């Protein structure tokens, strides 16, 4: 019988006594009679309210045909387990603090931080990723988010996304000569806005003009479309491709560029589109960037004349012809008409082609920072 009793840290002595009673068909009262103890004493021992002393261990050994050492070991292991509970609770509290500071599961899924079982090691990895000495340290704010009032983004996820953008930007080399001439940068970019395949040249143009370019998919519940920020005193334009459409790509890109051209100070995290219902409600600087991006993309007066002539009965051939006159991709025209409400949102959506197939090598894929 002794060889069959294997003590376990998380098993109480009462659990093993109960198992032995069931194996023999005994009751607690039977055991009390065998040991010459009050039934109350057996009940307290069974419910871990009474410790097994050396004397009790010897009596249990005689009753069950085991050794006294076995019962001493069972009791000792259980008491050691109880002593470790505060340490386990401290680890749970630490993990709670870590998960409040960053979207740990998502960062691990994307391999931005390693999967670690030790809470102290995980805390160190998260602090290193966020660039802070401790979880109690404030994370430097890089931008003020403009977002829809209908959905509240998670600040911890915004910060984590920005840290990734900064890390990717630091991997890029930029020319060190002066501040870019924004009118020249815009002209170079808009020369690529007629064919969707030409977006592949956008990143390199920005880099040669002294602007970092990063494509980093947004983290869950941030709803970010783009951002402009500064890394080592150099501008960074980051896009998420949350809406993978040619019109959204060009508008978001030029919106972020407008922040730089208009001299807006600081960084900006932008949610430009509100669940497909058009541009989100924004403050004065965001509205100014919107207006500048619209003016760069299409001649407003020409759009107004085109809309008036078509009288909301836009055909595909009309849109294609107008887009060719403007030297813009027809999807950009459709996106403008959708936003202004002069074209039903469901019409001509086939022209809103994806741009990600042409930017695959620039899209940040899951993996460690190198």
Q: Which long-range contacts (CB under 8 A, 24 or more apart) does 287-293 make?
A: 288/258, 288/262, 288/264, 289/255, 289/256, 289/258, 289/259, 289/262, 289/264, 290/255, 290/258, 292/254, 292/255, 292/258, 292/261, 292/262, 293/251, 293/254, 293/255, 293/257, 293/258
**Which CATH number among 1.20.1090.10, 3.90.1110.10, 3.30.300.180, 1.10.260.40 corresponds to the domain 2-94?**
1.10.260.40
Where are the chain's structural domains? 2-94, 102-130, 143-362
What are the residues whose beta carbons fall under 8 Å from the beta carbon of 23, sequence distance 6 or more?
Answer: none
pLDDT of residue 147: 44
- Residues 144-175 have pLDDT tens digits of 444 433 455 678 899 999 999 999 999 999 88
- Residues 230-281 have pLDDT tens digits of 998 899 999 999 999 999 999 999 999 999 999 998 888 888 886 545 556 5
> How far is C-alpha 286 from the chain's CA centre?
24
pLDDT of residue 50: 87
Integer Cα distance of 235 and 56 in angstroms: 76
Average per-residue pLDDT for the chain: 87
**pLDDT grade, residue 77 (50/70/90)?**
confident
The average pLDDT across 190-213 equals: 96
Cβ neighbours around 290 below 10 Å, total? 20
Integer Cα distance of 42 and 37 in angstroms: 7
- Residues 126-139 have pLDDT tens digits of 999 998 888 887 76
pLDDT of residue 38: 92
pLDDT of residue 133: 86
Integer Cα distance of 286 and 187 in angstroms: 22
Instruction: Please tell me the pTM assigned to this model.
Output: 0.74
pLDDT of residue 1: 41
Given a cut of 60, whether residue 3 has pLDDT beyond it is no
pLDDT of residue 341: 87
Given a cut of 90, whether residue 89 has pLDDT beyond it is no
Integer Cα distance of 269 and 101 in angstroms: 19
Per-position DSSP letters for 166-201, written without gaps between them: HHHHHTS----SS---HHHHHHHHHTTSSSGGGGGG
Q: 256 in the Ramachandran plot: left (φ > 0), alpha (ψ -120 to 50) or beta? A: alpha
Q: How are beta strands 234-239 and 143-146 bridged, if at all?
A: unpaired
């Amino acid at each position: 019988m002794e060889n069959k009793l294997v003590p376990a840290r998380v098993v109480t002595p009462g659990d093993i006594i109960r198992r032995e009673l069931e194996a023999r068909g005994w009751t607690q009262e039977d055991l009390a009679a065998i040991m010459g103890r009050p039934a109350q004493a057996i009940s307290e021992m069974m419910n871990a309210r009474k410790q097994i002393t050396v004397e009790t261990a010897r009596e249990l050994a005689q009753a069950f045909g085991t050794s006294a050492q076995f019962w001493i070991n069972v009791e000792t292991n259980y008491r050691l387990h109880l002593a470790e509970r505060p340490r386990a609770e401290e680890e749970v509290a630490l993990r709670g603090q870590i998960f409040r500071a960053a979207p740990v599961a998502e960062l691990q899924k994307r391999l931005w931080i390693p999967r670690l079982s030790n809470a102290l090691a995980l805390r160190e990895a998260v602090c290193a990723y966020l660039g802070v000495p401790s979880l109690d340290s404030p994370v430097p704010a890089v931008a003020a988010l403009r977002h829809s009032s209908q959905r509240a983004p998670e600040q911890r996820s915004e910060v984590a996304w920005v840290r990734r953008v900064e890390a990717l930007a630091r991997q890029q080399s930029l020319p060190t000569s002066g501040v870019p001439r924004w009118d020249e940068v815009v002209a170079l970019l808009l020369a690529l806005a007629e064919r969707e395949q030409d977006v592949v040249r956008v990143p390199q143009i920005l880099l040669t003009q002294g602007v970092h370019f990063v494509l980093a998919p947004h983290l869950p519940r941030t709803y970010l479309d783009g951002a402009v920020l500064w890394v080592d005193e150099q501008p960074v334009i980051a896009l998420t491709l949350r809406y993978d459409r040619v019109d959204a790509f060009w508008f978001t890109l030029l919106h972020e560029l407008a922040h730089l051209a208009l001299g807006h100070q600081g960084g900006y995290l932008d949610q430009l589109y509100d669940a497909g219902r058009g541009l989100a409600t924004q403050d004065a600087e965001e509205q100014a960037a919107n207006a500048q991006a619209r003016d760069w993309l299409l001649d407003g007066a020409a759009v107004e004349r085109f809309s008036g002539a078509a009288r909301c009965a836009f055909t595909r051939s009309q849109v294609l012809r107008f887009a060719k006159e403007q030297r813009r991709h027809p999807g950009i025209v459709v996106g403008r008409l959708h936003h202004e409400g002069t074209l039903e949102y469901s019409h001509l959506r086939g022209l809103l082609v994806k741009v990600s197939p042409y930017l695959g090598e620039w899209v940040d894929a899951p993996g460690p920072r190198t």
